[in-house]
Structure 1
């Protein structure tokens, strides 16, 4: 099967982040096994989802991991010109479908080269590590790294994660930390604002503290010009509170995220925030003794990717991708998990991130072919 044939099949599985992915996982398993690959599926607790791990080549150190995710984002509410779960070639050089770019194009190009991998005399192994639930917070990344370590006694050296990068090597991205803060105040008539503790008013103080913290980091020189913006960002994306204009709100909930540059630590920012919350609780309990602020993680932290430009994995990917341009990106990925797990990690995959998550998502045939060539070059490197 060609990469286009495989991509056509992969996009037909409308598996969204958070949903069961067994349909696409089983198809990939059967495809790999039909070529003689020993495949391992690792299930979630409910046995409704599975990640895929396999090795092609000898059980020796210093192999290369090729990693991507099988899930996609929703299409609801988007204006598609074609069926988003059917690969469409309009004759303009592009292949349209949900996931064509992010990131089933990468999975397809890896799978298309499996026959060549199996026929080659690889001196170093190639691993596939395909995850689920990446699109709802990279939830399986850390566990997949753990499964690799537990499954194989040898130690891979490099990890290439195929997020859309126009086949340009990416050596850095920000980490992300998503949180939920709930403020519990007292309800009452709006004329009693001095006698009650408005959850909305106190939530507003917390939000301003977070904005000021972001600005303070910038003022204190916490900058990294490789990124846009070149600093850690703190953003409040959703607020839920209140039932009427003339009723003091007793509950306010807001969701926020920290996108952290490599030199900053999200945990330190959260700890400072929680300390401020304690101080605010002490002050406001003089008015309302049950005043409380609770902050919890919405999902586990996604680590930063911060690979040195002189790292050997960078040289490798430059050679096999035929690209000497390195870059950083604003989005987060599972690459940070692989780097945290001890592998030299980098992003390089077909398509543009500008096409991801939008209607009429596409990957160009040229990009897909370039990706296949990159994996073929990797096979030659490891022979």
Structure 2
């Protein structure tokens, strides 16, 4: 099988974030083990999902992890020209399918390197680490990282996270956390708006508070020009409530996210929001004693990622990658979690993030070829005698 064949097989598994990934992870394990390498699965508590890791090469400190995720985002409601779970070649130099870019193209390139890895005389190990539920909050990576670090006697040093970056080395991204805030007000005739507490009106005020808080952070100088936008963002994407225009809404909710630059403190922002909510509750309870505002964290925060331009992992990348133009991205990934665990991490993968999560997602064939060369250069470097001194 070549990279395109492998990618076609991976795309055929319609594993969405939050769903069982056992079908795709078992296929990947069997494929890796067919080349004589042993894999270890890291299941969830219910044994409905699993991450995978394996080591290729000697038990030596200073190895590198190639990290990717096996889940994809939904296709429901998107206007696809082809079956999203059948890799399609339209003859335009692109391969279409859900996950072709984000990030099964990376996985396919890694798996296609197995014949070369069989022949290689690696002086430092290369690890595969493939997770689940990345698309709904990078949920499984922390446990996968801990398991990998505890499983092997040696200590890996680097991690390449293969998110689509057009092979540009990425050394920073924002953190993210998602929340739902629910408001419980009092129902009544709309003519009594001053005697009741509208959940919709209060929800709207809270949304505006979040926007004001975002603007305050900018006004206070909390900016980082490496990112676009160059500041933390607080955004409300869903708001619902009420049953009719002439009925005061007794219930409303809104869902929002916080995307934080590395130097901003998410806990401080959320704490300030919750304190403001407490103040509003105290002010409105005399009008309606059962008035409530409750905020739920949808999933644990995804750690911001911030590396240095002169770090060893950037120097390593310069030896194997012709693209040395380092940058940052606004999207979140597992890179911050690897970095937090003590591994020098960097994002570098095939394909463009512009194609991710949309209808007719594709990856250019040339991008796959470019990444195959990138990985081949990595294998050559890790097979050289000089690598023991360089890394």
Q: CA deviation at 1:298?
A: 0.6
Q: Aligned partners of 1:147, 1:253: CA distance in 2, in Å?
A: 38
TM-score, normalised relative to structure 2: 0.95
**2:147 alignment counterpart:** 147
Q: CA deviation at 1:196?
A: 1.6
Q: Aligned partners of 1:253, 1:360: CA distance in 2, in Å?
A: 32
Q: CA deviation at 1:152?
A: 1.8
Q: Secondary structure at the match of 2:314?
A: helix
**2:21 alignment counterpart:** 21
Q: Secondary structure at the match of 1:6?
A: helix
Q: Secondary structure at the match of 1:136?
A: coil
Q: Which region of structure 1 is more displaced relative to structure 2, 255-264 or 183-192?
A: 183-192
Q: CA deviation at 1:80?
A: 2.1
**1:278 alignment counterpart:** 278
Count of residue correspondences:
383
Q: CA deviation at 1:309?
A: 0.8
Q: Secondary structure at the match of 1:256?
A: strand
Q: Which region of structure 1 is more displaced relative to structure 2, 251-260 or 73-82?
A: 73-82
Q: Secondary structure at the match of 2:8?
A: helix
Q: Aligned partners of 2:177, 2:77: CA distance in 1, in Å?
A: 27
Deviations 1:278-313 (A, max 9, x none): 111111112122211111101111111111111111
Deviations 1:187-217 (A, max 9, x none): 2222222222111111122111111100000
Contact 1:169–1:318 under 8 Å retained in 2:
no
Q: Aligned partners of 1:146, 1:242: CA distance in 2, in Å?
A: 46
Q: Which consecutive unaligned segments of at least 5 residues does structure 1 have?
A: none
**1:9 alignment counterpart:** 9
Q: Aligned partners of 1:318, 1:111: CA distance in 2, in Å?
A: 23
**1:47 alignment counterpart:** 47
Q: Which region of structure 1 is more displaced relative to structure 2, 148-157 or 128-137?
A: 148-157
**1:297 alignment counterpart:** 297
Q: Aligned partners of 2:99, 2:380: CA distance in 1, in Å?
A: 28
Alignment pair present for 1:34 and 2:25:
no
Q: CA deviation at 1:24?
A: 0.8
**2:158 alignment counterpart:** 158
**2:387 alignment counterpart:** none
Q: CA deviation at 1:46?
A: 1.9
Q: Aligned partners of 1:274, 1:78: CA distance in 2, in Å?
A: 36
Q: Which region of structure 1 is more displaced relative to structure 2, 369-378 or 147-156?
A: 147-156
**2:211 alignment counterpart:** 211
Q: Aligned partners of 1:169, 1:371: CA distance in 2, in Å?
A: 12
**1:268 alignment counterpart:** 268
Q: Which region of structure 1 is more displaced relative to structure 2, 205-214 or 82-91?
A: 82-91
Q: Aligned partners of 2:126, 2:242: CA distance in 1, in Å?
A: 55
Q: CA deviation at 1:120?
A: 1.5
Residue pairs, 1:1-383, within 5 angstroms: 1-383=1-383
Q: Which region of structure 1 is more displaced relative to structure 2, 263-272 or 189-198?
A: 189-198
Deviations 1:315-348 (A, max 9, x none): 1122212111111111111111111111111100
Q: CA deviation at 1:102?
A: 0.6
Q: Aligned partners of 1:364, 1:316: CA distance in 2, in Å?
A: 26
Q: Which runs of 4+ in 1 moved over 3 A?
A: none
Q: Aligned partners of 1:276, 1:77: CA distance in 2, in Å?
A: 37
Q: Secondary structure at the match of 2:299?
A: strand
Deviations 1:68-111 (A, max 9, x none): 01111122222222222222222221111111111000001111
Q: CA deviation at 1:230?
A: 0.6
Q: Which consecutive unaligned segments of at least 5 residues does structure 2 have?
A: 384-391
Q: Aligned partners of 1:91, 1:321: CA distance in 2, in Å?
A: 28
**2:388 alignment counterpart:** none
Q: Aligned partners of 1:29, 1:308: CA distance in 2, in Å?
A: 34
Q: Secondary structure at the match of 2:288?
A: coil
Q: Secondary structure at the match of 1:134?
A: coil
Q: CA deviation at 1:264?
A: 0.3
Deviations 1:110-169 (A, max 9, x none): 111122223222111111110111112211122221221222232111110000000111
Q: Aligned partners of 1:225, 1:117: CA distance in 2, in Å?
A: 40
Q: CA deviation at 1:34?
A: 0.6
Q: Secondary structure at the match of 1:54?
A: strand
Q: Which region of structure 1 is more displaced relative to structure 2, 286-295 or 297-306?
A: 286-295
Q: Aligned partners of 2:189, 2:81: CA distance in 1, in Å?
A: 52
Q: Which region of structure 1 is more displaced relative to structure 2, 159-168 or 278-287?
A: 278-287
